[in-house]
Structure 1
Amino acid sequence: MQPKQIVEQWVLAFNEGDADKLADFYAPNAVNHQVANEPVIGKTAIHAMFTAEFANAEMTCIIEQILQDGDWAILEWKDPVGLRGCGFFQIKDGLIVFQRGYWDKLSFLRAHDLPIPQ
């Protein structure tokens, strides 16, 4: 599968809120760095991150576009409450080895009525 197709499948698993399926997309030593947070390193830690996030908020990713360049796929997304962001996925041997995401954390916390850190 091409990186673009992997990210399309990743979005389907994300929208199911399925941390197990999502974790299967990552290499054992993958890094997921949502720039509003500290990097999460390793498939097990990434699984735990998604499990916690799905427990705290109902999230939906609506694809605006997915671009591909070599082993990279770039996802531009929005959600039903108006948040927008983008993610960069580096894919090697069919697995995500690096992911970086850009989105507004304060808007996310407010939209999901979550506590705002002081």
Structure 2
Amino acid sequence: MRAQGAWNPLWDKLSDWDPEWTEQFVSMGTLPIRRGVLSPQFVELLSIAVDAACTHMYSPGVRRHIRAALELGVSREEILAVLELTSVLGIHACNIGVPVLAEELDAFERRRAEQR
């Protein structure tokens, strides 16, 4: 991964402290790619989605995978579609927040009515 420019420098200390575990982690994470089941274009699009997701937000990876996707002939429209689909993950903030807001507004209004 280092040679391919896919190494995350945040893993340096982990690799220093436990190189065997880090090697196993990297091996596990790259096995589906090494097996060749998915096309390189699809792997790059999937990697863009993972790195851009609100749960990850790793911009160096997004940049690296966009560059690689473009080199493989992936179109701007395909990459944009992946980013747009990935943005839907953020809807969970509304799925959680809106019902809580509704409950709290009801409780607030009940307390206000009781104070009158």
Query: What range describes the TM-score normalised by the shorter chain of this pair?
Result: under 0.3
Q: With the length of structure 2 as denominator, give the TM-score of the two structures.
A: 0.25
Higher helix share: 2
Q: Highest Rg: 1 or 2?
A: 2
Give the TM-score, by structure 1 length: 0.25
